[in-house]
Structure 1
Amino acid sequence: MNPRHFRIFRPALATLALASLAACGGGDDGPQPVVPEPSRVQDARVYTPLAEATFAALPNSAVATDRWTGTLGGAAYRIEVPKTGWNGKLVMWAHGYRGTGASLTVDTPIMRRYLLDNGYAWAASSYSKNYYDVRAGVEDTNALALNFSAIAAAKGRTLPAPSKIFITGVSMGGQITAAAIEAEAQMTAVNKVKYAGAVPMCGVVGDTELFNYFAGYQVAAQQLAGVPITKFPVTDFAALVPTIQSALWSSYPTQSNAQGDKLKNVVMNLSGGARPFYAEGWANPSNQNNIWSSLGGDGTINGILTQNVLDTTQLFYKVDASSTSITAADTAFNASAFKIQPTLDANRLRRDGLRWIPLTSGDFNVPVVTLHTLGDLFVPFKMEQVYFDRAKAKGTDKWLVQRAVRDVGHCAFTAAEATTAFDDMVKWEAGGPKPAGDDVTTAATVGAASYGCKFTKNTPSTEDYTAPAVRAGYQANYPACP
């Protein structure tokens, strides 16, 4: 059987028409009192933006810039604009998941040097909340974009409204990037921005399917370890972790045993199918530790929702690696696997703005170029396949270009890879030809030994997230392009 058959279920979208009716409290009986939205655990958390006095100029740059910092709506921000030669365009940078702390921090885009060299202004928000709060990320990024000229004026420089606004980001910021250009966000966000193009990188572009993937990993791991789930949520999961890991790894996290290799095969299919760098990604400590830190939840995504959104009912666990076809062992395993059922409308449309976890349904009409590393198992390559399928169903795949990068790390791109993707997107948006990309869905293509070679640029620089010497050490042990 084609590994693409083992796909993550894509939930259907609720209609905006029904949401509008609910928002108005309308119906055959006339207007009804609007019931307030329920409060979440997230709503009671208190955060502090760490406002900076300034941030450093880009080293070895010939471009003099104005660099502004401050707070806006409970979020810290950074803005940088060339002192001369601004091209009138603004790039919004969306950072990734910051964890569960109370401090809000902001950073700079990986393609900062390219942006300044080419006359762009850029701006980045810390967001007003931590945890996995994509809604806050979209709203606060949009609010900063809308206030760009007003902030410039307050800082002593008169600037017109940007002629075009682009958005790019990594990881959770990749979902923020993709969600911000959706038609649903254009209709329901409090702060509305019409972006001209987007580059989501290592992004959660399958939205809640990421959490279904984590749930499927947990279901399979517990069953293979002999401590299967019998009810959900699993309230004693932390206590079970040593038992599960010792049953599946001879040396966690780098060397799984024979039983753990069944989980390895399950996760390969749940995360995108057979492909280069999967084996290296499976044995990567960062990948495994990030996954395990994401298991054992109750489906509310740490209080972002009020009810369980997890759904494993459509997942298929391919435990038998001896055949690509479904075997008796696969059938028996799936028949006994616990099915986590979501609460209906746990992530429904809201009356007060965006969904609590905004969707990436593929409903966009601007150029989009994505990047994803093949061995990333924390936010797996499967996200790109889900995103393509959704865009194809919407008829928007003509606006989508996707690229695979040969590495195991989450967001382990070089600045050259990110810069090329952004440059190709803006040239396309300006009227150039649609840039080249990778086929992310054909199993034979994705599984080829050369897959990902075309857009992998391993020449290191100081702008990379990984230090050049460290990256060179990693690359020395990676499979070379044939």
Structure 2
Amino acid sequence: MWRKRIGVVAAVAALLCGGALPAQAADRQYSGGLPDGANWVADVPDNWTGTIILYSHGFGPLTAHDAPDDATRQALLDRGYALVGSSYSGPSWWALESAVRDQFDSLQAVENLIGRPRRTLAWGTSMGGLISALESEDGGHRIDGTLTTCGLVAGAVNMNDYQLNGEYALSHLLAPDVPVKLVNYQDTVDAAAAAATLTGVVSGAQASPQGQARTALGAALMNEPTWFTGATPPAGFREQEAQQAQELTSYVLGFVMTGRYQIELAAGGNSSGTAGVNYRALLDRSRNAGQVRALYREAGLDLDADLAKLTRDADIHGNPVAGAHLARTSQPTGRLAVPELDIHTVADQLVPVGQENWYGQRVAVSGSASRLRQAYVRATGHCAFTTSETLAALSALEHRVQTGRWDDVADPDRLNAAAGGTARYVDFRVPPLVGA
């Protein structure tokens, strides 16, 4: 059904001819349903240039969106882009089993109304960035290029593993006698109660240097950044740990532990385990290993003993059926059929920037490195981009699609210039993803 009535004669004529609606019509809004229960929405400007953006929204309620926010939507419409996006059909908020299909079906529904586009670009944020990365592997030539912003491009298997490693370390070292359920949640209430308990444990640990050191270890295993608030990253190790504790307790643990329930619901169980993990090897890979070691020395703790304890006592086993489900539905291969540009903030608390390291290696091994570029914004926060930063990235992707060459359009200086000199793109050495 249409959300805004347009001229019936013009609409019928356009549909019969297989073309777009007349340019003089007002901006048009459409919505509809798909056979599997998903919904879709679309916005088409009167100055449509022939390019459709297929937008994939992030983790959350299954509501259709065709842009990340209202300001970005309006900016895209002003530039002549048509927008479409679906709700996905579930079965939970982790909707990867249906999302790619629902997105392409929504695209087809809009094409049936306005005509075949000159170009289609996929764009996704957060979980939607993973969806868009999977769309980049499309062999059906339904898209021409992809932009991922703060994308969960290392997939669900890796994410579940490193989040569990960090949560286990926090629980087992900070309060071994306090029962904290880490996997196999019965429902959202069960997961939220576990998150509240672990949040309280981390908060209480900040009263001592020993608790702070062990919090830093757990944060390192979770790939948590050391910058959460303020215009610049904190320099001192204690200040860094204070910011990690703040991000963990203010929203990260509550978000990811309740989010795990949604993933378990979709996968049919818990995919990840701690049994057999070498926690010393994990810490050695972390860019924050120096911080952890320094805080342990100051606190008079034996880091080797804690790492050995974590490795020795680890006894959580994943469900192989759930793991296979996520590997099939929620893990990119890196075999890109189209050009892709990924952008990420350097300090992302929910989707750590190290995901780009893992993904870049996966794409290179697949032989698709020439199709991928990655760019980084010096900012803290999840998806904390300005509208001008995202539009500059979109422009760079379009250059690649149009010319077949990246040239230097994805370099920081060119992206900043494309954003009018207000963007924060920087050269950045991406850390490894611990636990991947």
**C-alpha distance after superposition, 1:352-410 (max 9, x if no partner):** xx976332221113211112122222121121121112112222222211122233321
Alignment partner for residue 169 of structure 1, among 90, 108, 124? 124
Letter of the 2:159 counterpart? L
> Which residue of 2 is the match for residue 124 of structure 1?
85
| Secondary structure of residue in 2 paired with 1:366 | coil
| Segment of structure 1 superposing worse, 356-365 or 63-72 | 63-72
Alignment map for 1:263-278 (pairs within 5 Å): 263-268=215-220, 270-271=222-223, 277=233
Identity %: 23
1:52/1:70 contact within 8 Å kept = yes
Alignment partner for residue 179 of structure 1, among 124, 128, 134? 134
1:54/1:69 contact within 8 Å kept = no
Alignment partner for residue 293 of structure 2, among 301, 321, 324? 321
Match status 1:92 vs 2:54: yes
Q: 1:248 to 1:347 in 2, by over 3 A?
A: closer
1:199/1:369 contact within 8 Å kept = yes
| Secondary structure of residue in 1 paired with 2:256 | coil
> Which residue of 1 is the match for residue 31 of structure 2?
69
Letter of the 1:67 counterpart? Q
1:282/1:288 contact within 8 Å kept = no
Once residues 437 and 324 of structure 1 are traced to their aligned partners in structure 2, the CA distance between those partners, rounded to angstroms, is: 40
Match status 1:335 vs 2:335: no
TM-score, with length taken from structure 2: 0.70
1:362/1:391 contact within 8 Å kept = yes
1:89/1:165 contact within 8 Å kept = yes
Once residues 398 and 362 of structure 1 are traced to their aligned partners in structure 2, the CA distance between those partners, rounded to angstroms, is: 12
1:299/1:309 contact within 8 Å kept = no
Once residues 231 and 244 of structure 1 are traced to their aligned partners in structure 2, the CA distance between those partners, rounded to angstroms, is: 9
Once residues 93 and 381 of structure 1 are traced to their aligned partners in structure 2, the CA distance between those partners, rounded to angstroms, is: 21
User: Would you tell me which structure has more helix in proportion to its own residues?
Assistant: 2
TM-score, with length taken from structure 1: 0.64
2:96/2:329 contact within 8 Å kept = yes
| Structure 1 gap segments, 5+ residues each | 1-50, 56-61, 153-158, 187-191, 440-451, 461-482
Once residues 73 and 372 of structure 2 are traced to their aligned partners in structure 1, the CA distance between those partners, rounded to angstroms, is: 23
Letter of the 1:124 counterpart? G
Letter of the 1:212 counterpart? D
**C-alpha distance after superposition, 1:162-216 (max 9, x if no partner):** 232110011111111111112xx54xxxxx5532111111111111211212211
| Secondary structure of residue in 2 paired with 1:406 | strand
Alignment map for 1:344-359 (pairs within 5 Å): 344-348=320-324, 357-359=329-331
Q: CA deviation at 1:287?
A: 7.6
Once residues 396 and 256 of structure 1 are traced to their aligned partners in structure 2, the CA distance between those partners, rounded to angstroms, is: 49
2:339/2:371 contact within 8 Å kept = yes
> Which residue of 1 is the match for residue 354 of structure 2?
382
Match status 1:308 vs 2:270: yes
Once residues 457 and 221 of structure 1 are traced to their aligned partners in structure 2, the CA distance between those partners, rounded to angstroms, is: 44
**C-alpha distance after superposition, 1:304-336 (max 9, x if no partner):** 012331144556353742299996246424433
**C-alpha distance after superposition, 1:17-55 (max 9, x if no partner):** xxxxxxxxxxxxxxxxxxxxxxxxxxxxxxxxxx88349
Match status 1:197 vs 2:197: no
Letter of the 1:65 counterpart? D
2:180/2:194 contact within 8 Å kept = no
Once residues 457 and 329 of structure 1 are traced to their aligned partners in structure 2, the CA distance between those partners, rounded to angstroms, is: 53
**C-alpha distance after superposition, 1:223-275 (max 9, x if no partner):** 122327899747687666566444432488xx886413322244235417778
> Which residue of 2 is the match for residue 249 of structure 1?
203
Once residues 197 and 57 of structure 2 are traced to their aligned partners in structure 1, the CA distance between those partners, rounded to angstroms, is: 35
> Which residue of 1 is the match for residue 166 of structure 2?
217
Match status 1:106 vs 2:65: yes
Alignment map for 1:30-45 (pairs within 5 Å): none
| Secondary structure of residue in 1 paired with 2:263 | coil
Q: What is the aligned length?
A: 368
Once residues 260 and 162 of structure 1 are traced to their aligned partners in structure 2, the CA distance between those partners, rounded to angstroms, is: 55
Letter of the 1:106 counterpart? H
